[in-house]
Chain A
Amino acid sequence: MKINFFKIIIFSFITFFLLVFWLGLKKDNSYNTTNLIGNKISSFQLASIHNSDLISDELLKQNEFTLINIFASWCAPCRLEHKYLIKLANQNRNVKILGINFKDKKNNALNFLNKLGNPYNFVAEDLDGKASILFGTYGVPESILVDKELTIIKKIIGPIGQRQFEEILKLTQ
């Protein structure tokens, strides 16, 4: 009787641990911030890169949709996605694009825009990167699509490709 009791305990412990490890190994633990879709972005106020204007969340409320794109001239994937941003700016009037220049030098950023074209309706500077935390980004490039109420509709971590580009078009029709 006594032995049975211990056997049951040991058996249940082993099954429990095997189950935990089995489930733990199967679980997808790559992290992303897509769970923040549906949240509102917080208010912000950033200096424009072109002049002394301030760019704030109030400005975005006037747009049907805004794509907030965090970019830098030193970031290679940003160059890859740039043509899609330009395509988006030309094709879709519903979406305004706010570029946030992340940890960059002003001259380099302006050169970058002169050379590759400027798809942005507004470009704000974030020289020390602190503002990027407000948007919940952890790298460049990253894009956040928000609607008129500043609710996050989509987050794209990494460069925008053909698939993401089509998705943005679909969401903003």
Chain B
Amino acid sequence: MKIQKIIIIYFFLLSTLYSDEVNLEVMEIYKNLRCLVCQGQSIADSNSDFALTIKLVVQDQIKEGRTKKEIYDFLISKYGEWIVYQPTLTKDNFFLWFLPYLVLVLGGLIIFFITRKSKHNKAN
């Protein structure tokens, strides 16, 4: 009797664990989709008609076994790049992608030159 209970609890926990994993993946997709009819909300945040429909479609496509990228590509082909929060790298936005790295390198160089200069000054 006790063993039976343990087994039931074990499978129950296993199933919730599994469903959490699936939900996390779906949630991640929702969060990266912009709700086009709401101001500053993602599909995950919104309960608008549009967001609910998008959620249904995403769930369907996941059930069909499509990957995250395929789902994003599908929605981009229908609504344009604007629907995803993380845009793909194009020649229009490469500055946006690489500016942080550029600033990092530039900052490093500035620090390097300043410390070298002050060392020189101390040595002198």
Q: Indicate, yes or no, whether A interacts with B.
A: yes
Proximity string of chain A (17-55) to chain B, C-beta cutoff 8 Å, 1 when within and 0 when not: 000000000000001010110010010000000000000
**Chain B residues near A139 (CB-CB < 8 A):** 37, 49-50
A: number of interface residues (CB 8 Å) = 19
Are A33's CB and B53's CB within 8 A? no
B contacts with A: majority SS: helix
Tell me how far the C-beta of B63 lies from the nearest C-beta in chain A, rounded to whole angstroms. 13
Q: Give the segment of A60-68, A84-92, A115-123, A129-137 that binds chain B.
A: A129-137
A33 contacts B49, CB within 8 Å? Answer: no
Q: A130-B56, A130-B57 are in contact. Are A136 and B79 (CB under 8 A)?
A: yes
CB distance from B30 to the nearest CB of A (A): 14
Which residues of A in the span 109-156 have a Cβ within 8 Å of any Cβ on B?
128-130, 132-136, 138-139
Collect the chain A residues with CB atoms within 8 Å of residue B52's CB. Answer: 129
Q: Which residues of A contact B79 (CB under 8 A)?
A: 33, 36, 136, 138
Taking the nearest CB of chain A, how far is it from the CB of B107, in angstroms?
10
A103 proximal to B (CB < 8 A): yes
Interface check B4, CB cutoff 8 A: no
In the complex, the answer to whether A130 meets B60 with C-beta atoms within 8 Å is yes
Contact of A103 among B36, B37, B49, B80 (CB under 8 A): B49
Tell me if B77 is interfacial: C-beta within 8 Å of chain A: yes
The chain B residues found within 8 Å of chain A, CB to CB, are 36-37, 49-50, 52-54, 56-57, 60, 75, 77-80, 82, 110, 117
Task: Supply 9 A–B pairs (Cβ within 8 Å), ascending by A.
Answer: A2-B117, A31-B82, A33-B79, A129-B52, A133-B53, A133-B78, A136-B78, A136-B79, A139-B37
